[in-house]
Amino acid sequence: MPELPEVQILVDQLTSGLMGARITAVEVRDAKIKLRRDIVGRRVEQIWRRGKNLIFDLSGGLHLLAHLRMTGWFELKEPKRYRAAIRTGNGAIYFEDARRFGVMDVLASSQLHAFLAALGPEPLSKEGPNLSRVVKTTRPIKVALLDQRLIAGIGNIYASESLWWARVNPRRRANRLRVVELKALRAGIVKSLRKAIDYGPRIFNVQHFAVYDRGGKPCLRCRTPIRRIVQAQRSTFYCPRCQR
């Protein structure tokens, strides 16, 4: 599932081609997608990300909000199947989404502000990850990192990766983490997210994980077999030696 790094990579890709472009047509092929036709004729003024949400600022105070969910992605070349297409003077983008969980919506500025206000802090802010909301919960730290109200943008993949870099056990209660562990976790979050963003557009072809989806394989640090457990109905991968 696309998380913060993948969405940021997509923002960078789309920005280079669509900034300043005028929307000339909207095509919707899936009834579950609701796009207001009055975005036609508006210019794309900015493309940015908040957590896992992709946002197109349009002229006239409207905003196109997209959440990719499990399999959503915007393609610059027309794929065999797509749920919606937005055509501009600079070319088209196609919303491809095999499992059809992704959402797109057009919001006024007040609606967008209210929606985004519910999200937690950005982990890649200049000040670094703010974990003040995370450490107030008694939930396991891995589960807490998935809550977008506590910290925005981290999903199942980068929660496991961040905790491995920090050498923190995913079952540790978030409110029981020591100062030194929180410092290591902040660094681990930044490292795992930046590492993924640096892969660029080829991320899905070249990315290698430290622990995610490596159950039974040797830890890259100590060679102990990586263990898989289930937390909140999601798979968690960790090293039982490095992350005691």
Measured on CA atoms in the order 88, 103, 200, 118, is the torsion positive or negative?
A: positive
d(CA 204, CA 189): 20
Per-residue DSSP letters for 163-220? HHHHT--TTSBGGG--HHHHHHHHHHHHHHHHHHHTTGGGHHHH---SSTT-TTSBPT
d(CA 171, CA 182): 14
Query: Catalytic one among 139, 167, 234, 241?
Result: 234
Query: Catalytic one among 2, 5, 121, 170?
Result: 2
d(CA 239, CA 242): 5
Query: Catalytic one among 42, 49, 52, 142?
Result: 52
**2 in catalytic set:** yes
d(CA 69, CA 183): 30
**234 in catalytic set:** yes
**3 in catalytic set:** yes
- The secondary structure of residue 85, as a DSSP letter, is E
Which residues are known catalytic residues? 2-3, 52, 234
